[in-house]
Amino acid sequence: MINGKKVALIFGIGGQDGSYLAEFLLSKGYVVRGVVRRASFPNTKRIDHLDIYDDKYGKTPASPFYLLYGDLADSTSIRNILEEILPDEVYNLGAQSHVGISFQNPESTMNFNALGPLRILEAIKDLKLKCKYYQASSSEMFGISPPPQNEDTTMLPISPYGIAKLAGYHLTRMYRKAYGIFACNGILFNHESPRRGLNFVTKKITRSIADILVGNREKIVLGNLDAKRDWGFSKEYVQAMWHILQHDKPDDFVVATKETHTVREFLEEAFNIFGLNWKDFVEISDNYKRPAEVPALLGDASKALKTLNWEPKTKFKDLVRLMLAADLKEKMQEKGIAPMGEDKSDEYYLDLGKELAQKLAGQKKEKKVEGLLESLEGLKKEFSAGVIEGIVNQLKNG
């Protein structure tokens, strides 16, 4: 505690969830410290707006928010940070979080996602800290177990990411049982937002649509469209993380919307808003297919609702719209199509998008007609009357 305020330490604060969690905890009056790893180019875009306090207080206990350098692969940095900050709550959101890339980088994925939590938990134990610990576990751990999935479902992961996360999950439970640490797992199903990393499928789709509408690109290249995911809103899911640590005993909880959709349905929903057919814009490439795939995720979060009174409000259709509006805003402002800095509603950007889509459909139609006319001209030249007569004769003569 600092001046009667709880201290939260967030690993992975620069990520999608870390940034929303930091905002949420600051709004609750917490003192927040975040761990970022060194990068050759700043990796703090999602939290730069929070660093307003840094100039005023510097890195002193009085500062409500500041960042420290650390790495989940570096035990020394983890121990030093824990010893310096003496947090009340530790949120471990740090990870190599891309399932597809975990097949290409399996060792570092295991190192960060499995040994990372081990290093933090071991330091908490050795330093005899009285803090609570939150582990960002994942629905990817269910792997090929059929839906719906809840806390009792067998975990059969089929990616290096899922297997590493399952190790982190069990370590969290083991440190709870063996050493009495208040250590909890949030088993979160897919959750997205305008801050989602660019190479996750939802963000890739909504950003590409915005790019298509403003004229930056023509196509989206994707992999498997059949997989089903239970997609929620990150800003709401980080509140569930906090509720999990406020519960009177340490436990594990599924966090999900109980609604599932294929990637194809996400495409349909997004393109339909603009009256466009997704099939005109999507190409499939094996480059984006994985060696093994989790076929269907559908979370049953009844326990979180019953025990924590947590429930998601943003459902699939709202999520698609809010992500599209955010990407349209950014791209339209870049192109000077929408005014900079003005606080317009999501509907404003979606309506502008619809106007652009109509123009695009008109241009596509014109191009198609031009193409057909050109082909007819070609046919006219090639098939002179004599040639056509020859073909008719051949047909007549069998």
Q: Which stretches within 193-294 are classed as H helix?
A: 201-214, 234-246, 263-272
User: What minimum distance in Å lies between the beta carbon of 378 and ligand NAP?
Assistant: 51
Q: What angle do CA 391, 393, 398 make, to 5 degrees?
A: 95
DSSP sequence for 195-207? TS-TTSHHHHHHH
- Candidate segments 92-100, 174-182, 233-241, 314-322, binder of ligand G4F by CB under 6 A: 92-100
Active-site residue, from 19, 89, 97, 140: 140
Active-site residue, from 19, 102, 137, 138: 138
User: What minimum distance in Å lies between the beta carbon of 305 and ligand NAP?
Assistant: 18
Question: Does the active-site annotation cover 134?
Answer: no
User: What does the buried/exposed string (b/e) look like for 12-35 if buried means 16 or more CB atoms within 10 Å of the residue's CB?
Assistant: bbbbbbbbbbbbbbbeeebbbbbb
Residues pairing with 135 in the sheet:
92, 185
290 binds, among ligand NAP, ligand G4F, none (CB under 5 to 8 A by kind): ligand G4F
Residues pairing with 143 in the sheet:
156
103 near ligand G4F, judged by CB under 6 A: no
Question: Does the active-site annotation cover 140?
Answer: yes
Cis omega (within 30 of 0) for bond into 64: no
User: What minimum distance in Å lies between the beta carbon of 313 and ligand NAP?
Assistant: 17
Secondary structure letter of residue 2 according to DSSP? B
323 near ligand G4F, judged by CB under 6 A: no
Query: Footprint of ligand NAP on this chain (CB under 6 A)?
Result: 11-12, 14-18, 37, 39, 43, 71-73, 93-97, 112, 136, 138, 188, 190-191, 197
Could you tell me the CA-to-CA distances from 253 to 120, 124, 187, 191, 243 in Å, in that order? 20, 22, 6, 15, 10
Q: Which is nearer to ligand G4F, 11 or 65 (CB)?
A: 11
Q: Which is nearer to ligand G4F, 5 or 170 (CB)?
A: 170
Q: How far apart are CA 199 and CA 359, in angstroms?
A: 28
Query: Among 53, 103, 288, 348, which residue interacts with ligand G4F (rule: CB under 6 A)?
Result: 288
In the complex, the residues that contact ligand G4F under the rule CB under 6 A are 97, 99-100, 138-140, 189-190, 199-201, 204, 222-224, 227, 229, 263, 288, 290, 293, 297
Active site residues: 138, 140, 161
